[in-house]
A = this chain, B = another copy of it.
Amino acid sequence: MSRLVVLAGGVGGAKLALGCQALCMGDDLTVVGNVGDDFHHCGLRICPDLDTLMYTLAGVVNTETGWGRADETWTCLQTLADLGGEDWFQLGDRDLAVHLLRTAELAKGRTLTEVTGSLCAALDLPTRVLPVTDASVATRVISDQGELAFQEYFVRERAEPIVKSIRFAGADESALSPEVAGLLASATTEAILIAPSNPWLSIDPMLAVGGMREALRNAPAPVVAISPIVNGQAIKGPTAKIMRELSLDVSPLSVARHYRDVLDGFILDSLDQQLAADVSAEGLAVLACQTIMNTLADKKTLAQAARAFAADLRVHAKGK
């Protein structure tokens, strides 16, 4: 039985996931993670968003950065730099162990879902983390500097290139993992939340997976998204910059319209209360509440509000 399902990207999504975990203690929570950021680096399979989710939910994340591990050391990366190797991707010594173990287990023929499950168990996670798919779906950024792999754009180039469009290589041949497809179709799933992650870089690669949009439209549970845009700004990261580059208003309304076909409800920040009527006019139920998550209490409060909102929607017929 899995009552709450959260679709999440990296740092921003992990905050909501942590709030849900605090709420669901002893209950069932599944976090479905993005794999569009995944890449191969020095022979290793690296899954930045899954790692951020796991580390955050296991309580071993570096809380200053929101990614990577606490008490990290950098001996390997420093040595790699000394040798003239590529050191733009932050490979901490502890973090490396996860990349090594994942790579070794995948080489044995296990699926990413299975391997992620083993890593979650090794990290004593109370929450299940699932990759959205076992296939390769790679976010590619078409920019003024040409087409870049996601990590090249995001980390190496610090998200500075101007985004013209985004594509998801492999999406057409991909399919939801059976575990994710089962959860979305399950009558015991009470709510499906789309975290306030970057819609274009973190959530779209999940929506691009074969069968995902249909699964959300057909889900018995209400689907509720939380706006990552508050008061004309992104909570973090390059979301607002990308929206401007894609000629979109930096507004929750743009996000609501972007997700429209898969949503039942939309949560925006109290600071954007005045936009509730416009979102409602799109045919979506709307909730305005505090969405900025600074403390664990903030995260839990937002998770609770989202779950209650979804429960209300569940009572009424789904209107998608």
A interface residue numbers (CB < 8 A to B): 41-45, 73, 75-77, 79-80, 82-86, 91, 93-94, 96-98, 100-101, 103-104, 107, 118-119, 122-123
Contacts and interface: CB of A to CB of B under 8 A. Distances in A.
Nearest to A93: B75
A76 B69 CA distance: 12
Contacts of A103: 42-43
B73 A104 contact: no
Q: Which of A42, A118, A122: most chain B CB closer than 10 A?
A: A42
Copies of the protein in its oligomer: 2
B76 A104 contact: no
A73 B93 contact: yes
Given A76-B94, A76-B100, A93-B93, A83 B122 contact: yes
Contact of A80 (B41, B77, B82, B97): B97
Given A98-B83, A100-B85, A107 B76 contact: no
A73 B93 CA distance: 9
Contacts of A45: 43
Contact of A104 (B42, B82, B104): B42
B85 A42 contact: no
Given A83-B122, A122-B83, A122-B84, A75 B101 contact: no
Identify which of A82, A85, A103 gathers the most chain B CB atoms within 10 Å of its CB.
A85
A103 B85 CA distance: 11
A59 to B, nearest CB: 14
A11 to B, nearest CB: 21
Contact of A75 (B75, B83, B84, B122): B75
Given A41-B104, A42-B104, A96 B96 contact: yes
Contacts of A82: 97, 122
A83 B43 contact: no
